[in-house]
Amino acid sequence: MSQKQKLLEKTRNAPKNTTFEELISLMRHFGFEPRKTSHGYMITHKELINKTMPHVPRPHGREGKVRVVYVRECLKAIELLKTKAEGKEKE
């Protein structure tokens, strides 16, 4: 199992314990481009134009854990990308 898959499984199984750095790293592995904004990062992908993309605010505090709602938004974006890629393979 690759490092990318391990990180994806860890994030799926424990979204409450996902740190900001892990989430950004995971999104970069799948080709997403985090763009810094004034409050966090807007995550975009060239394949998913005109789709609602996640905005992940930078967490405050020592632990640096991202709220679960933002982790789930990112996981939905990854799944959307995977289904789009599978659709292209079938054609």
Phi, psi of 84 (to 5 degrees): -65, -40
Determine if the pTM surpasses 0.85: no
Domain with 14 in it: 3-90
Domain count of the chain?
1
Tell me the sheet residues that pair with 57.
40
Decide: 68 and 16 in contact? Cβ < 8 Å.
yes
Question: Can you give the pLDDT at residue 87?
Answer: 73
Residue 52 clears pLDDT 70, i.e. is over it? no
Q: What is the pLDDT of residues 6-29, one digit of tens each?
A: 999 999 999 999 998 899 899 999
